[in-house]
Structure 1
């Protein structure tokens, strides 16, 4: 489909007039149409121009989708990408500095990541399109060493919870040739319910990725949070990270990948070490917060995960935090603060944040 900017602006103006919206100027910077998916991406200069195309209650963009006969239309403001682009520049500088520390074959997936990041900086609007084009170049799980013809097997650990952030991270890690081993810490049904375990097992099966559970007793955290002595999320995350880090170190796996959205820029990459083992060869792992490094938004990681069958779930957090909110209503404030932190960082759109806060309340 050949969609011209001028024709699209005329159609938007007509739709606005037909449904009784105010006559205003329509400004479009760029258009991207994905023929394979039938998705149209419209880039506007800023949020006010974005609102003009969406219309009150989404009526304008809904009618536009019907008129064009496309599967979906997504409208983005270029102003929303200015800060993420700066963060990606910081991440790229740090990544290229780190790449120089590694030799083949460990270097190769990092180079692939660098290439994806550069492509993202050139076209920050459509990560799914970039991944589909990148898929044909990703490294297979087992390769032949170019110099001495030896078979090599380099791996990363991907912390996989079953949520969309970690699921998207696993998909990207696989495509980039990190040959991931997915690791899920299992504290029991109240924190990791059956539907999350099913999601984990289904995704790893589809990707052909090895998966392992690590059991842990979180009775102290469960009891303490239900009694209202503390909010569970920070303590739970800390224990899970310590267990996965220790597993990664014990198995001498060089890369540890998380689905963190907030540690952007240079902070998306850092080394984690055991005190008694600090050399690069043994006992030192590079932590990569993959969505944060790529400055992905929540909506983007959801779209990647959903394409691989991961279900979007409403509400906030695990069953434990839901019970804590019921028994200890004062704890809702701390959960809302966590949502607002992601919103302030640009990882969550206001509408997504509102849905989560409504669920908390």
Structure 2
């Protein structure tokens, strides 16, 4: 099926479900038989929105009409940006791989991402495990239990980086029981060594609950310090974080002879791609935004919500979050007002 034929079918679908008749522009159509997956590349984001339809109804009906497993829609503009970010990451990797030999394990998958910049499932498949021999543990993964860090652990394991996972434990107000269980289940299923790092979080918790500051920045800094101290004591020279924003050159950083790899950012990943990639491991994205402490701060101090919303908007501007995903997260923050 070529782009013109598919455009006509999409217009038919829009008419069937009562959407306005609009011109449908498609730059490229790619069908992956192995995955039973259709990729539709639209010229720009406005064209992408027409193909997806309100609430995803058009693309959902299209999948049913064509009888295929899944349909993904991307804009050519977004794919160009993603490729450029991966190019910058490869340049940075080339600068550092002489000092950190294990970076060679990331070069081939990065080039694969450059060639076909849609979907990250290939990073969470066991067949990607490298035959290269590296010392064990090859890298530490900061595992919070969320989608981003879970992806980082799964990908680093399957790429042959021989990871060990560390989870900062400030208490149940930040690390609730269901997240802790998810961490335990994932590390057990992979068979990787995992440790919790106990932290004194009482001062940040008290001040946040008194409305003195938004807790996320201080919490992240404290957790990062604890992880870095731990890996220094373990003699590990590489740490992997689930950061999504520091793409390109910023995805690989060296401080005090320790290599920091922001793995999702290295591959210019979107949140949607990460969720899809880890779904086969039973990893599920949280329904709301942030931890129980942040939820309580939002409930008590409405003005604090703006800082959380700013973070969501920052990820949306970077293309990490789709506008619809961002809207759901913002509503989860603002919706807490109903419990006041």
Give the TM bin, normalised by the shorter chain: over 0.9
Contact 1:306/1:312 (<8 A) preserved: no
Partner of residue 306, structure 1: 279
Q: Identify the match of residue 167 of structure 2 among 160, 169, 184.
A: 184
Q: SS at 1:25's partner residue?
A: coil
Once the two structures are superposed, the pairs formed by residues 71-150 of structure 1 within 5 Å of their partners are: 71-102=69-100, 107=101, 109-128=102-121, 130-131=122-123, 135-139=126-130
Residues 46/170 of structure 1: CA separation in 2 closer, same or farther (3 Å cut)? same
Query: 2:27, 2:234 → 1: CA distance?
Result: 50
**1:209: how far off?**
1.3
Listed as ranges, the gaps of 5+ residues in structure 1 are 146-151, 274-283
TM-score by length of 1: 0.87
**1:292: how far off?**
0.7
Query: 2:15, 2:317 → 1: CA distance?
Result: 35
2:235 maps to 1:244: no
Query: 1:19, 1:340 → 2: CA distance?
Result: 31
Query: 2:282, 2:308 → 1: CA distance?
Result: 28
RMSD over aligned Cα atoms: 1.9
**1:220: how far off?**
0.3
Partner of residue 323, structure 2: 350
Contact 1:227/1:328 (<8 A) preserved: no
**1:316: how far off?**
0.6
**1:131: how far off?**
2.8
Partner of residue 52, structure 1: 50
Contact 2:140/2:240 (<8 A) preserved: yes
Deviations 1:283-340 (A, max 9, x none): x210000111111011111112222111122111000000111112221111111111
**1:36: how far off?**
4.6
Listed as ranges, the gaps of 5+ residues in structure 2 are 335-340
Query: 1:360, 1:92 → 2: CA distance?
Result: 37
Which deviates more, 48-57 or 88-97?
A: 48-57
Q: SS at 1:84's partner residue?
A: helix
Q: Identify the match of residue 230 of structure 1 among 202, 213, 219.
A: 213
Partner of residue 268, structure 1: 251
Deviations 1:113-165 (A, max 9, x none): 1111111111111222x336x7424226xx768xxxxxx43420000000000
Contact 1:27/1:49 (<8 A) preserved: yes
Q: SS at 2:331's partner residue?
A: helix
Contact 1:38/1:70 (<8 A) preserved: yes
**1:253: how far off?**
0.7
Q: SS at 2:206's partner residue?
A: helix
